[in-house]
Structure 1
Amino acid sequence: MLTIKQVIAREWQAFWLATGFLSRIPMLARINYSDRLMNQCAVYFPLVGLMLGAMYAGLYLALSEAWSPLTCLILVTGFHLWITCAFHEDGLADSVDAFGGGSSPGGKLRIMKDSRIGTYGTVALIAALALKVTLLGESGTIWLALLLSPMVARLTPLLIMGCLPYVTDPDKSKSKPVADSFDRNRLLYAGLSTAVMTMLLTKFHVGILLWSIVATLGVALVWGLYVRKQLGGYTGDALGASVVFGELVLLLGLASLE
């Protein structure tokens, strides 16, 4: 049985492993890597999203001293694509290419693994980025939308992982250790902590909390069912796409609520 000190050390490593998995941010901990630790790190995806959101909000506030909101949002979006290696956007493009061009589950999976981007993926990526910048600009409090949306959206793939089987070539997948034997109990912890942080960040704005729940559950349900119909389960690319969709749906609500 692990001691409290060992549990804290393990969770500390899991957090920084999640940070390194989702971004370019240097890991400020020595990681005793294992597939089990990689699996456990998924619970910290929303917290990593909050850290990224704090960077986006801070950068926006600093840039807004010199430039217009639109210019600042484009620059922040560019920084987001760099700091995350366009990880989730790549998943969106690959998923749309696969579902638009594949005629069978096997064919769709092959297209997903193709590093080239097609017409479907290009159009989806441009539309998603344009819509994101537009919705952020229409939010009543732009810095809050930048802070909140990365955290809430990164809960969506955890819901999909908790409900669907993983389908892809395990020897060629970066996401396999995260997805393998996903612990649903940790999903509960992630959901509760995300809800609490949302309430604190919005000063107990019930409308934003409810819309965050609707956006997260709605995207997980609709996208999850679609992915299951197309592939029989989820892939890492499908999880990445769910983050992009989760952000967009959340921002749609924030643009009308604030």
Structure 2
Amino acid sequence: MSRLRREVRVFFTAVMFLTRLPVPRWTDHRPEYLRQAPRYFPWVGLIVGLIAAGVYEAARLVFPVNIALVASMVSSILATGAFHEDGFADVCDGFGGGWTKEKILAIMKDSRLGTFGVIGLGAMLGLKFLTLQALTGAPLVALLLFAHAASRLFPVAIMQTYPYAGDTEASKSRDVTGRLQPVGILLALGVLVVPALMLPPAYLLTLVPAALVTFGLARYFARWIGGYTGDCLGAIQQVTELTIYLGAYIIASQ
């Protein structure tokens, strides 16, 4: 198999893993492709951002901004099958209700949604909406692209620096938890070039608080469970996306 065809298969494997978007029928969860897929996770985030931005712009032609924002948020959730939101809610339940590593991991594996998860997810979605609503004077389309791409980059960074703490035999994420080669890391970082060129340079500073939040959460997870799980990565995506929006609001209001 040629190198290009292999990269195409790896890319579509990443799309299939992170989203509900249609992929070619020959795409599967083959471990050899899953192990390489994280280098394309931020690029998949860029696609999700394009969907969210496109729906926002289309809805804004017909509806008020508030409705357009809700439509945009819903479109990104539908595109991913609430993949990251589910992880965030599980983390809220696990770390909110568990006091040992074993209990936390058991709660996060439970498919049922608990009180902490409901409250956390409601607060997350509400804060995203209110922040985006306050950002309507900022370059919102470019910001959506940037936030969705960058927020998928930070979990990949954690995968390079912290150990996996879940049950590797039962986890759906077990095959994507390996370390990337330097070329893969550069490819993952390259996704930020496109949206960064669309934004005023000051907005790139939002990466600083997002990075601080990322590694702060990673240290918290490591202290309690010895590393990260797939749910932890989903939580990091959600929190860093919101952090970028909040940082952008501070910049836009200056």
TM interval, shorter chain, is over 0.9
Provide closer, same or farther for how the CA distance between residues 32 and 129 of structure 1 changes in structure 2, counting only shifts above 3 A.
closer
Match of residue 226 from structure 2: 232
Please tell me whether the aligned partners of residues 198 and 209 of structure 1 are also in contact (alpha carbons under 8 angstroms).
no
CA drift of 1:32 comes to 6.5
1:24-173 superposed matches below 5 A = 24-28=20-24, 30-31=26-27, 33-139=29-135, 140-173=138-171
Instruction: Name the CA shift for 1:184/1:160 in 2 (closer, same or farther; >3 Å).
Output: farther
- Cα distance in 2 for residues equivalent to 1:85 and 1:32: 18
SS at match of 1:169: coil
Other-structure match for 2:195: 198
Given candidates 171, 179, 182, the residue that maps to 1:182 is: 179
Which residue of the other structure, out of 213, 222, 231, is the alignment partner of 1:219?
213
**Separation of aligned partners in 2, 1:39 and 1:215:** 29
Q: Distance in 1 between matches of 2:201 and 2:50?
A: 21
Q: Which moved more, 1:233-242 or 1:77-86?
A: 77-86
Distance 2:189 2:99 in 1: 39
Query: 1:257 pairs with 244, 251, 254, which one?
Result: 251
Distance 1:47 1:197, change over 3 A: same
The amino acid across from 1:169 in the alignment is D
For 1:20, the equivalent position in structure 2 comes to: 16
Which ranges of structure 2 fall in alignment gaps of 5 or more residues?
none
- Per-residue CA deviations over 1:224-250 (Å, capped at 9, x if unaligned) read 101101100100000000000010100
8 Å contact 1:195–1:209 — kept in the other structure? no
- How many aligned positions are there? 250
Q: Does 1:207 align with 2:192?
A: no
1:186-219 per-residue CA deviation (whole Å, 9 max, x = no partner) reads 55314530332232232xx32122322x144212
Q: 1:184 to 1:252 in 2, by over 3 A?
A: farther
Query: What's the offset of the Cα at 1:10?
Result: 1.1
Q: Deviations over 1:118-170 (max 9, x none)?
A: 11111100000000111111221222222221111000100111111111112
Q: Percent identity?
A: 34
Q: Is this contact kept in 2: 1:155–1:216, CA < 8 A?
A: no
Distance 1:141 1:251 in 2: 11
- In structure 1, what is the Cα distance between the partners aligned to 2:188 and 2:169? 30
Alignment check: 8 A CA contact 1:156 1:219 kept = no
1:171 is displaced (CA, Å) by 2.4
SS of the aligned residue for 1:168 comes to coil
Supply the RMSD in Å over aligned alpha carbons: 1.7
In 2, distance between residues paired with 1:115 and 1:171? 18
| Counterparts of 1:142 and 1:183, CA distance in 2 | 32
Long gaps (5+) in structure 1: none
1:241 to 224, 235, 242: 235
Q: TM-score, normalised by structure 2?
A: 0.93
- Deviation above 6 Å: which 4+ runs of structure 1? none
- Indicate the SS of the match to 1:255: helix
Indicate the larger mover: 79-88 or 106-115: 79-88
